[in-house]
Amino acid sequence: MRRFVGQVAFVSGAAHGIGRAAAERLAAEGAMVAVADIDTEAAADVARGLGAAAFRCDVTDRASVDSAVAEAVDRFGRLDVLVNAAGNNLGGNAGAELSDEQWGRQYDFTFTGAVRCIRAALPHLVAAPDGAVVLIGSISGMVALGTDPYAAAKAGLSNLVRNLGATHGPQGVRFNVVAPGTVATRAFAGKEQLLEDLKAIYPLGRVGRPEDVAAAVAFLASSDASWITGVTLPVEGGLTTGPGHLLR
């Protein structure tokens, strides 16, 4: 499929993991990709491999985000797709016992970071024929899996896209979330046995790959999803169907 020929996609968090896979998938389908990440060296490596361009982007810094988006638009002349994959689970299970600072750091990174990217990109997406925003959420935002601040921040993204989808739908911009389950990324480096153990909770018998999530991102960003906005799409190997497969 070549669904993004002539289009420009800005992908934050594109140097590693899900963000990198999304950048690679969009490029493979014809997009010109702005590979944006705070890890500039890794972002440059990804960009070289894709024939794309790399931009430094720290989603916790509004000026950095604004500059990265402006530079990408100046380089490519337009912006059609925003994918926000920047984010990390900063830990903390017992939310009631965590400090304001711990809560604030996670929200700033995960939720407000996405808002910063959207705010910078939105004027350009409105000008596009079919502007699309895809945020990377988490199944943790849908079911209770611990790490309270992370889960709450990811859950907030789902309500954010519902509101923004309603507000900006008349302008032709769509907003959606992809919510992955466990995905084998560098966050699990050295934890191979944990990944092996987690297979048992998934009806499809395995944990996810970054490419699984990237395929869903590409769908929601493409014209194939032109009548879809404000939704959260679980990509989680059947986890939310419940534990019935364990009882059979």
Q: Is the C-alpha dihedral spanning 59, 30, 207, 158 positive or negative?
A: positive
CA dist 228 and 211 (Å) reads 21
CA dist 125 and 216 (Å) reads 20
Active site residue 150: yes
| Residue of 109, 150, 175, 219 with catalytic role | 150
Active site residue ranges: 150
